[in-house]
Structure 1
């Protein structure tokens, strides 16, 4: 695998939030945020044949094969071998990386070009990519994981503050911040 080769991945959980993605893939605060943002495209997508459930006692979910369901998430391009290494480390041994096909959705507020394309990818185009699948379904709850609940209540604990996402104003409630401080002591 050459160092210039790029990868793609489908994220369905915490990594759908650019703030979390950039924290995992680019830990150094010395990097230029605008340059980092220009390296990757986040495109809404659907993964058929899987369901997403909360992992017991955790802030994040896992997906498992389920022919009757589909999972909404983000198809991300421009991933380097170094990014994939960091993502593998982040996901740990609870997940296995698998190759799947996702269907691209229209980008919200995206400008469409010719032939129904949005930012270089056609809506409803099916693309092959990689996804992290949860290994132990027995550790999943019976309920769907809620991204908005994560964004408003837990995401602040998963990100760096120096990435400059000015369009996000999601802060953890005081009791969550107190919990994080107590855990750090």
Structure 2
């Protein structure tokens, strides 16, 4: 989740590190600008690991992500190689996905307008 989106949902931007999640990928969601994360052997998702979240902040994230996602525990690798316990929101519906990579650069320049008007 991009920092300004995280700020809007949680109310602050805590300490974070860049991290990689192995054997997962981000794909497009039909008629949406946001991605879905799904298991995918051999793929990787690079993102942000937010540190030190409170129970209330996690509850806000759960509410924001909604019923199409389920929070689950994973292990990620920091750029330093250090492993960290983390949680990811996995897409749980059987439909709605387009098996094409989701492009964060497209989201930052184009998709964010639609996303912001609908969800922020």
TM-score between the two structures when normalised by the length of structure 2 = 0.89
1:49 maps to 2:6: no
- Give how far 1:154 is off: 2.8
Distance across 2 between alignment mates of 1:97 and 1:156? 26
Q: Is the 8 A contact 1:97 1:130 kept in 2?
A: yes
Q: Which residues in structure 2 correspond to 1:12-161 (within 5 Å)? A: 15=1, 17-26=2-11, 36-37=12-13, 40-105=14-79, 123-156=80-113, 158=115
RMSD of equivalent CA atoms = 1.7
Q: Equivalents in 2 of 1:67, 1:133: separation in Å?
A: 15
- Offset, 1:136: 2.2
Higher strand share: 2
Q: Is the 8 A contact 2:69 2:91 kept in 1?
A: yes
Instruction: Name which one, 1 or 2, has greater alpha-carbon Rg.
Output: 1
Listed as ranges, the gaps of 5+ residues in structure 2 are none
Q: Report the CA distance between 1:137 and its aligned residue.
A: 4.9
Secondary structure, in 3 states, of the residue corresponding to 1:93?
coil
Instruction: Name the TM-score, length of structure 1 as normaliser.
Output: 0.59
1:96 and 1:135 in contact (8 A); partners too: yes
Taking a change above 3 Å as real, the CA distance of residues 23 and 158 of structure 1, as seen in their structure-2 partners, is: farther
Aligned pair count reads 118
Distance 1:149 1:88 in 2: 25
